[in-house]
Amino acid sequence: MSRRCIFPLVLLMLQFLSAPTPGAETVSKSESRFKRLIQPVLAEHCFRCHGPEKHEADLRLDNLDVDFGNATSAETWHDVLNKLNLGEMPPEDEQQPSEAQFQQVVDWLTGGLELAAAAKRRSGGHVVLRRLTRYEYNNTMHDLLGIDLDFAKDLPPEPSSEDGFKNSGAALSISPLQIEFYLQAARTALAKAIVTGPRPEVYHHHAEESAPSRRKKEVTSNTVTPDARFVARLLDYPTEGEIVVRVTASAIVPKGEGYPPMRVTVGLRSDVLAPEEKLGEIDVTATVDDPQMYEFRGRIEQFPLPGHNPKYPGVLVTVWNDYDNGERKPLKRARRKKGDDPPPAPASNVPTIVIKSLDFEGPVFQSWPPNSHTRILFARDSEDDQQRYVRKVIQRFATRAYRRPATEEEVDLLLSFFNRIRDESPTFEEAIRETLAMVLISPEFLYLMEPHDGGKSKHPLTDFELASRLSYFLWSSMPDEKLFALAERGKLSEPDVVAKQVRDMVADPKSNNFVEHFTDQWLNLSGLDRVAVNPEYYPDFDDRLKPEMRKETQRFFAEILYEDLSAMNLIDSDFAMLNRRLAKHYGVTGPRGSEFERVALAADDRRGGLLTQGSVLLSNSTGEDSHPIRRAVWLLDRLLDSPPAPPPPDVPELNQGEPDLLGLPLKKQLELHRQKDSCNRCHRRIDPWGIPFESYDAVGQWRSEVLRVAKKGRDTRTPVVASAILPGGHEVDGLEQLKVYLLTQESKRFSRALVIKLLTYSLGRSLELADEAVVESLTTQFAAADYRLSDLIIAIAQSEPFQHN
Amino acid sequence: MAKPSWHLDRRTFLRGTGVSLALPLLDAMTNRGQAAERSERPRRICSVYFPFGVSLPPDDHEHSEWNWFPQGEGSEFRFTKTLSSLKSLRQDVTVLGGLSHPHGRSIGGHDTGDIFLTGASLKGSSYANSISLDQLVAQQIGDQTRFPSLTLSSDGGVGEPTRSTTLSFSRNGRPIPALSKPQQIFDRMFGEGDGEIQTQRRKLESSGTMLDLVLEHSRSLKRRLGKQDQQKFDEYIASVRAIEQRVERSQRWLDIPKPEIDSSSLALESSPEGPMEYIRTMYDLIYLAFQTDTTRVATYMLGQVAGATTVANTFPAFLGLAGNWHGLAHGAGKKGGYENLGRFDQFLAEQLSYFLTRLKETPEGDGSMLDSTLVFYGSSNSRTHNNHNYPLVLAGGGQLGLKHGQYLRFTEKTPLSNLFVTMLDRLNVSRDSFADSTGEMSELLA
């Protein structure tokens, strides 16, 4: 069932906008025009495949409503228009309508849709009441309470909308399960934020020598190699609060090698075999004659603490050396389980970390009660009685949580709850916690509320609503005090103020949330987790590269955003963002450490832009070989906003009953595939986009031959074929040429797609016909600003759909 | 074994493996006052779905032994290699062929997981599903247990329409989020809860008041929202209302201790990266939920049909079978493809057999747990992208009047929902019809 393509590309739409429109035609007149001029053409050329008998592509035109005011059918007609404009329909091998007939249908559609869009501009385009996503909820809880815990870990994973985004109001639903977890999380969080009792005991642990390990085969030492770790065993430890681990260490780095990454983990609950969790990781760059102190922070509750089994007392703090020099031990059949140790690298020629000492301290706090407490339960005015004080506490907390001033009525309701439970509660603090927990399950907190009269017209947002839109767009969290203050002063509808504020927000480290979530969702980077790399094909591949690939793409996007580079760098660039391991994987020289840095590329590096990044290549592969169809669909969908239709029902299996195709080059196989009519209809417009990627294997490495592993060493290697003729007739050979083609011929389509994706993400809703004009104008502005993302973000923040609902 | 006590100790100790320990009927623990009901053994239902269909080589193919469906028909049939692990359970299972949901036949080849248990029509401009089989049962008998139902999947959450990661849909067709993490599932069902009974009671009372006020407030807030927002907001109100009811119910359950389970034999840390251990643990959790009468209704979606988004796609690779599940299914026609996919089908069937065997080896009344549990297992694709001829197994319920030991073939005239009507009837949830059903499936009745 095809329900996407709500807003597909309209390549030639623009030039038709000026086409004669039916203007003031009455409904009956337009209907008669349809019957007289249009329907016969459709009947002759379309209904055979999209009529009562067959519904190719899940599309039936003969009974499709021709009233473009009907949103559903209008969207479908819009798709039809696109197909016509792209010359994709009727299929080449079918009888074609005359030029005049063709034009008539196109004019009818264009004019009618344009009118309907204009009518709709006054009505639709509302953002549907939007619940906070898991990550938005987590960030908001963190910013609101100042407690750094993972509050979302029990919440079910989020669905994606049809256009791939996780923050779409229409797609985000809520269920009893979630309410249950929200209440649980609220109570947990408030119990930590608001404290009772005396200052807790602080545990200190100082270790200068590694403790022995209880695991068999495990070597412990102060000289940490990939085979040996440093262990500190804490028999006394806190169970709650922030902890600090300080490691004083240095590194011995053999010539030509990089810095060893030091990973610190905490935990170990042997009764259920729960492994330790990572506290932090950093490259050790200090030399032996000048050891440095490296500091790691976290909350002890985040780690697996000892269970009931007295056989395994204490918490382990372990220091690991994650250096990977690329050498692999012979392949073992048994797969590693998550949490198992990384495969040990040979000890020779590997950088080592020398531990001088390790210090543990926890819980740490700057004051008692901690800030999280005094921020909520601030000092009480001497003239306030308890009722007035509690009212103020609620007022202040709810105002922050609701991201706008809490109303009198809301405060009354919360206060009434407080009064009802106060007597039953063991302490004043407990009653306050419960009351504030009520705030945290209220719709005003869980949803981005933009109440409107329910009328059809859109209205300007209040300044507080705008502040929330901005902060959830760029920070994935609640507004900070400055943004809130701007809203209080009613400044956020002024374009200059918005522009300045957006620049400040992008400069804030919290904008990393935007970078990560937008790139992840737009480019579908989580696909990396769902492809298993087959070690028979890639014995050298280490799964730990996957998160680095994801990070590469995020850092690449970040570089373009923060350095104000042209977004066309996404198609092709003369630099890459790499760290040592990834550079090595790609065969590029440069970085020595785990941090990502900008690396200048030479032509023979064969990298540049998104298309050559491991994240894209691997997530759209089979784990054994490239997958040209998936790569093509990804390119069409994500970069050009022209997703092909999903497979129709009952498409036959590839090659069933046909002679074995193994050994034929992939391009040949796809050609055979396309000989089947049912396949060809869609795939001739898909496959050519994926063929040019063929010089990159499943894990994103350059290749000139395609490997197929077979039993008994009968592996085959066939030369790569990367040339294809694109649907427009343009021939490209390899990614370099495809990139040139995209930059020269498709820059408009790409930039427009990026505008659409960014606008969709910023609004939290799918775009509609009525947004066409805004998209057009934003695309023009984007080009005029040399495709700088920051300017595009500002333009979006100032745009009509962003400022209205 | 000693005569089962109808009243459990506060700390009845259940072994995770449970095989050697026959459990007394647990509604004894729950409905102390309702003596009449005690003699009625709990009836249960578990539905399991897997994506991408199965290996179906032609009869004359060299790998025809990897065809999922048995050879022969009726009671004269022979399991192929794929389902050979069911041999010892032959008299407790029926294999069903030729069935499908008529509404599913014309929708996308990847879209049918959503309607596996609902039979709904997804045609039309906006997605609208309907109540799933399990939830219909939960509506009727869910109030007899601590949890009305248990919804699990390897992916967790709800996924997206047509790519749902849950099999369960509520009365109004809304997806019910599935749980995927064994530890979380265990804690939710058997966790201690915080603190003393007194504290818990106070918390529950406070929750009740809180939710009541939130509900009241939300209802007045709703009037100030636009129409679309109101529809969305109804979900929130319904959810709060459901939790409010659950809180009420929890208050009633408060004096009845949760069964204490020794988790050491459960692989609660397992994840989909170790598929065999993970799938077995999910089955173990369902088994324990049934055994302790924590719930009588469960679903488990092993994976969903979008190769690009389901975690289950990597299952075959972790087992040493080349490639991803979707690729394996697509490549069935390639050389060795039938066997490769068949081996994976066999692996999945072995996990089912493991679960069925555990139920069968647990005595209950004068039979086994399996005798009063319906286990429905299958896919809504035969081959990949093909929405006909679902590969299906119905197991258990020997004492609920079902006849097994058969391989039944149907034509397209029989909608799958007829099976659901028959299952509902066996569970004492009498319904004349379900979705597009046209009658009962009398072939299954003893």
Q: Tell me the domain boundaries of chain B.
A: 43-185+270-444, 193-257
Residue of A420, A524, A649 lying closest to B108 (CB–CB)? A649
Of A271, A190, A215, A203, which Cα lies nearest the Cα of A239? A203
Write the pLDDT tens digit of every residue in B275-288.
999 999 999 999 99
Whether the per-residue pLDDT at A364 is higher than 70: the answer is yes
Identity of the highest mean pLDDT range in A96-110, A517-531, A785-799: A785-799
Helix (H) or strand (E) holding A234: strand A228-234
Residues 188-227 of B with CB under 8 A from A: 202-203, 205-207, 209-211, 213-214, 217-218, 221, 224-227
Task: Give the span between the Cα atoms of A312 and A315, in whole angstroms.
Answer: 9
pLDDT at A485: 96
Residues of A in contact with B310 (CB under 8 A): 530
What is the model's pLDDT at position B9? 34
> Least CA distance to B384: which residue of chain A?
A653
- Identity of residue B41: R
User: What average pLDDT does range A64-90 have in this prediction?
Assistant: 75
CA distance B415 to B435: 10
Lowest mean pLDDT among A148-152, A542-546, A575-579, B6-10: B6-10
C-alpha Rg value of chain A to the nearest Å: 30
Round the average pLDDT of chain B to a whole number and report it: 85
**Which of B122, B177, B327 is facing A1, going by the closest CB pair?**
B122
Q: Which residue has the higher pLDDT, B148 or A126?
A: B148
Give the mutation candidate from A54, A530, A533 for the B interface (greatest B CB count, under 10 A): A530
| Residue range B69-80, pLDDT digits in tens | 999 999 999 999
- Which of A179, A338, A427 to mutate to probe the B interface, most B CBs <10 Å? A179
Q: Is A623 helix (H, G, I), strand (E, B) or coil?
A: coil
Q: Which amino acid is at A417?
A: F
DSSP A366-432: SSSS-HHHHHHSPPPPTT--HHHHHHHHHHHHHHHHHTSPPPHHHHHHHHHHHHHHHTTSSSHHHHH
Q: Which of B105, B215, B236 to mutate to test the interface with A (most CBs of A within 10 A)?
A: B236
Cα of B34 to nearest chain A Cα, Å:
29
Give me the amino acid identity at A286. Answer: A
- pLDDT above 80 (res A335): no
Q: Shortest CB distance from B214 goes to which of A438, A447, A657?
A: A438
Summarize the confidence of residues A357-385 as an average pLDDT.
Answer: 94
| pLDDT reading at A402 higher than 50 | yes
Residue B156 has pLDDT above 60, yes or no: yes
Pairing of strands A219-220, A228-234: parallel
Strand, helix or coil for residue A73: helix
Higher-pLDDT residue of A538, A33: A538
* Cβ contacts of A6 within 8 Å, gap of 6 or more: A75, A162, A163, A766, A767, A768
Mean pLDDT of A220-245: 91
B262 Cβ under 8 Å from any chain A Cβ: no
Strands A219-220 and A277-283: unpaired
Q: How many Å apart are CA A119 and CA B359, to the nearest integer?
A: 62
Which residues, listed in sequence order, are joined to residue B415 by a DSSP beta bridge?
A: B100
Q: Residue B160: what pLDDT?
A: 80
Instruction: Respond yes or no on whether the N-terminal peptide bond of residue A369 is cis (omega within 30° of 0).
Output: yes
Q: How far is B86 from chain A (nearest CA, A)?
A: 27
- The CA distance from A578 to A584, in Å, is 9
CA dist., res. A399 & res. A464, Å (int): 11
Rounded to 5°, angle at Cα B53 from B48 and B58:
135
Across the interface, whether the CB atoms of A647 and B110 are under 8 A apart is answered yes
The residue in chain B having the minimum alpha-carbon distance to the alpha carbon of residue A55 is: B106
**Choice among A289-293, A321-325, B191-195, B293-297 with the minimum mean pLDDT:** B191-195
Q: Is B302 on the interface with A (CB under 8 A)?
A: no
Q: What is d(CA A273, CA A53) in angstroms, rounded to the nearest whole number?
A: 60
pLDDT score recorded for residue A746: 95
In Å, how far is B47's CA from the nearest CA of chain A?
20
Higher pLDDT, A24 or A222: A222
End-to-end alpha carbon distance in chain A = 30
d(CA B382, CA B52): 8
Q: What is the mean pLDDT of chain A?
A: 85
Distance (Å, whole) CA A101 – CA A82 = 16
Mean pLDDT of A30-58: 83
| Bridge partners (DSSP) listed for residue B92 | none
Count of residues in chain B: 446
Chain position carrying tokens 């899940």: A58
Q: Is A302 left (phi over 0), alpha (psi -120 to 50) or beta?
A: alpha
Residue type, A519: T
> Which pLDDT tens digit goes with each residue over B14-62?
433 333 333 333 433 444 334 334 457 899 999 999 998 999 998 888 8
User: pLDDT band at residue A654, thresholds of 50, 70 and 90?
Assistant: low
Residues of B in contact with A277 (CB under 8 A): none
pLDDT higher than threshold 70 for residue B11: no
Say yes or no for a CB contact (<8 Å) between A447 and B108.
no
Q: Is the pLDDT of residue B114 over 80?
A: yes
Report helix, strand or coil for A708: strand
Contact B156 A446 (CB under 8 A): no
**Under a CB-based contact definition with an 8 Å cutoff, are residues A317 and A360 in contact?**
yes
Q: What is the mean pLDDT of residues B74-94?
A: 96
DSSP B193: -
| B209/A527 CB distance under 8 A | no
CB of B269 closer than 8 Å to CB of A339: yes
Please judge whether B317 and A630 are an interchain contact, meaning their C-beta atoms are less than 8 angstroms apart. Answer: no
Q: For the CA atoms of B368, B373, B374, B375, what is the dihedral angle to 10 degrees?
A: -80
Q: Give residue A714's pLDDT.
A: 79
Task: State how far the Cα of B167 lies from the Cα of B207, in Å rounded to an integer.
Answer: 30
> A162, B160: Cβ pair inside 8 Å?
yes
CB contact under 8 A, B387 and A650: yes
CATH number of B43-185+270-444: 3.40.720.10
Q: Do B308 and A530 touch (CB under 8 A)?
A: yes
pLDDT-based confidence at residue A798 (cuts at 50, 70, 90): very high
Distance separating alpha carbons of residues A598 and A606, to the nearest angstrom: 16
Give how far Cα A155 sits from Cα of A132, A185, A256, B157, B270, Å. Answer: 12, 10, 46, 8, 19
Bridging pattern class, strands B93-97 and B406-409: parallel
Which residues in A689-699 are b (16+ Cβ under 10 Å) and which e? bbbbbbbbbbb
H helix runs in B254-392, sequence order: 275-291, 315-318, 325-330, 337-360
Q: Which residues pair with A282 in a beta bridge?
A: A262
Report the amino acid identity of residue A469: R
From chain B, pick out residues whose CB is under 8 angstroms from the CB of A453.
226
List of residues 6+ apart from B424 with CB closer than 8 A: B133, B136, B137, B430, B431, B434
CA atoms within 13 A on the CB side of A603: 2
Average pLDDT of the segment spanning A488-503: 94
Euclidean distance between CA atoms B7 and A804, whole angstroms: 63
Task: Write down the pLDDT at residue A67.
Answer: 80
Q: Is A552 helix (H, G, I), strand (E, B) or coil?
A: helix
The pLDDT of residue A676? 65
Residue B301 to residue A433: CA distance in whole angstroms: 38
Dist CA A534 CA A544 (whole Å)? 14
The residue whose two tokens read 């006909």 is B388
In angstroms, the separation between the Cα of residue B333 and the nearest Cα of chain A is 4
**Is B308 in CB contact (< 8 Å) with chain A?**
yes
Phi, psi of A151 (to 5 degrees): -80, -15
Query: Would you state the pLDDT for residue B34?
Result: 42
Q: How far is A222 from chain B (nearest CA, A)?
A: 30
Residue B360 pLDDT exceeds 70:
yes
What are the DSSP calls for B293-312, one per residue? TS-SEEEEE---S-TTT-GG
Note whether B379 and B303 are within 8 A (CB).
no
- Asked if residue A363 has a cis previous peptide bond (ω within 30° of 0), the answer is yes
Confirm if A45 and A95 have CB atoms less than 8 A apart: yes
Tokens coding A320: 């690991």
Distance CA A399, CA B138 (A): 41
Lowest mean pLDDT among A63-77, A163-177, A458-472, A514-528: A63-77
Q: Do A530 and B309 touch (CB under 8 A)?
A: yes
- Chain B stretch 266-285, residues whose beta carbon is closer than 8 A to a beta carbon of chain A: 268-269, 271, 273-274
The encoded tokens of residue A296 equal: 């790691």
């032996």: which residue's tokens?
A288
Confidence class for position A582, pLDDT limits 50, 70, 90 = very high
User: What pLDDT was estimated at residue B158?
Assistant: 87
Q: How much is the pLDDT for A98?
A: 82
Contact between chains at B108 and A648 (C-beta distance less than 8 A) = yes
* Number of CB atoms found within 10 A of residue A297's CB: 14
* Token pair listed for B288: 């324990």
For residue A532, give the nearest of B123, B235, B317 by CB distance.
B317
Contact A434 B206 (CB under 8 A): yes
DSSP A151: T
Please, which pLDDT band fits residue A496 given cuts at 50, 70 and 90? very high
What are the backbone angles phi and psi of residue A141, rounded to the nearest 5°?
Answer: -60, -40
Q: Which residue of A has its CA nearest to B274?
A: A337
For chains A and B, CB pairs below 8 A equal: 232
Is residue B82 within 8 A of residue B352, CB to CB? The reply is no
Question: What does the block give as tokens for B177?
Answer: 């989020």
A649 vs B162: CB contact, 8 Å cut-off? Answer: no
Asked if the model's pLDDT at residue B99 lies above 90, the reply is yes
Average pLDDT over residues B233-248: 90
Q: Which residues of A touch B228 (CB under 8 A)?
A: 126, 128-129
Q: Which of residues 125-154 of B touch A (CB under 8 A)?
A: 125-127
Q: Is the pLDDT of residue A680 over 80?
A: no
Q: How far apart are CA A270 and CA A274, in angstroms?
A: 6
* CA angle, A126 then A179 then B136, to 5°: 95
Predicted local distance difference test score (pLDDT) of residue B14: 41
Which of A457, A622, A804 should be substituted to probe chain B, the one whose Cβ sees the most B Cβ atoms within 10 Å? A622
Is the CB of residue A775 less than 8 Å from the CB of residue A756? yes
| CA–CA distance, A461 with A53 (Å, rounded to integer) | 49
Amino acid at site A358: L
